[in-house]
Amino acid sequence: MSVKRKKRNGSMTKQHVILIGLMGTGKTTVGQELHKRIAYPWVDTDQALESKWGFSIARYFAQYGEEAFRKEETTILKAILDGPPSIITTGGGIVLRQENCEWMRQKGWVIHLTAHPEVLIQRLSHDQSRPLLLGNVADKIWQLIKERKGKYDFADITIDTSKQTIDGVIQEIIREWQKFKR
């Protein structure tokens, strides 16, 4: 089994299921499918921002830069966390602001999805929609791994998606979530 778990008790204040991790780990796909299984609404922070702006994150990055994007990302995360219980999928860089990590940890059960670098490179090699991957995808992935080392460690559990099906990942999440809620 590829689950790493931290000892934390469930709490009534932790009403959300939050998926974090590098791009390409499967957060959005897993979140969509998990929503169907546990009947929580699903909210994706990146999609919420694109809906708010009426254009893509890539365009926002190009016009306003990463720092402005991170501020917007923090604002939307806080609004979602203040809402009803949900499955929340996040952009990979949401962990770059400590306040985001603290809010997610307080308000939700945080699941870190991970994958081997080679798997991420394969999954993302043809994706032109991600502003942080412009240029050599392999180099960018390795750079992100280095820059974000330790940033996801606050998660309640970590699941490696490298060799698992989406269904397998969801089954692990549901099994662990049931333990967490006890």
Question: Binding site membership for Mg(2+): which residues?
Answer: 28
The tokens describing 33, both together, are: 């499918």
Distance CA 157, CA 176 (A): 8
Indicate the annotated binding residues. 24-29, 46, 70, 92, 130, 148, 164
Cite the annotated binding site for substrate by residue number: 46, 70, 92, 148
Tokens of 144: 């992100």
Please choose, from the candidates 141, 137, 139, the residue with its C-alpha nearest in 3D space to the C-alpha of residue 125: 137
Beta bridge partners of 112: 20, 158
Q: Are 20 and 113 in contact (CB under 8 A)?
A: yes
Known binding-site residue numbers for ATP: 24-29, 130, 164
